[in-house]
Chain A
Amino acid sequence: GAGVSQTPSNKVTEKGKYVELRCDPISGHTALYWYRQSLGQGPEFLIYFQGTGAADDSGLPNDRFFAVRPEGSVSTLKIQRTERGDSAVYLCASSLTGSGSDTQYFGPGTRLTVL
């Protein structure tokens, strides 16, 4: 079956611009996660959705970052007034439920470059 997909695969933008990154989870997965991976580092948690609601948004670095999942499926990560430090690979993952025993399946990521 289809895995987690993310679009675009690459995004180049200018400092100060607004960007949206999209994640399509595996069908039927109720839990969805966003992570950010800087060069040479492990992924860092941003936000976790259970259904339509954000169950944990403690990883969002500041109020320029926002994410939604209005119908409990597709999610969009939104970054306002982008800064060069936002450049990273943004990974999305989904799991059947939010239980710790469930495997998180990752998408290929979106590489964001802020010039």
Chain B
Amino acid sequence: AQTVTQSQPEMSVQEAETVTLSCTYDTSESDYYLFWYKQPPSRQMILVIRQEAYKQQNATENRFSVNFQKAAKSFSLKISDSQLGDAAMYFCAYRSARGKLIFGQGTELSVKP
């Protein structure tokens, strides 16, 4: 069975600085997808960024980028130029070729002005 682990329950960053959230996963599959979701206090899960396992190039979405290390089964999220609105719970998630998402335990990010 696939598992996702986020080892940082809480992280803090100064506004305008850069922060990296860690995620590792375990799978025996070769075809899969990885995601980072953001969940603010409103509870709405919002997709931040996604990575296809077959792609070697790391995904980037504006201030958000990932460091995908397939052999190490690592998938970290880097947030550059942090903003107050980035404060939220961040979940790393794994998905097979079809079906459900498997989530990590989450990292609560606070942004200090």
Contact = CB atoms under 8 A, between A and B. Distances in A.
Interface residues of A, number: 27
B43 A89 contact: yes
Contacts of B99: 48, 55-56, 98, 100
B64 interface: no
Interface string B90-113: 010101111111111110000000
A100 B96 contact: yes
A93 B43 CA distance: 13
Interface string A56-90: 10010000000000000000000000000000010
Contacts of A109: 43-44
Contacts of B93: 42
Contacts of B100: 33, 45, 48, 56, 59
Nearest to B6: A42
Given A98-B98, A100-B96, A103-B47, 17 more contacts: A33-B101, A35-B101, A40-B106, A42-B4, A44-B103, A45-B102, A55-B99, A56-B100, A89-B43, A91-B43, A98-B99, A100-B99, A101-B33, A103-B50, A104-B101, A105-B47, A108-B42
A106 B48 CA distance: 13
B62 to A, nearest CB: 17
B45 interface: yes
Nearest to B91: A42
Interface of A: 33, 35, 40-45, 48, 55-56, 59, 89, 91, 93, 98-101, 103-109, 111
| Chain B interface size range | 20 to 34
A109 B40 CA distance: 12
A43 B95 contact: no
Contact of B52 (A41, A55, A101): A101
Given A91-B45, A106-B44, A42 B33 contact: no
A89 B99 CA distance: 21
A107 B45 CA distance: 7
5 contacts: A41-B105, A55-B99, A59-B100, A91-B45, A109-B44
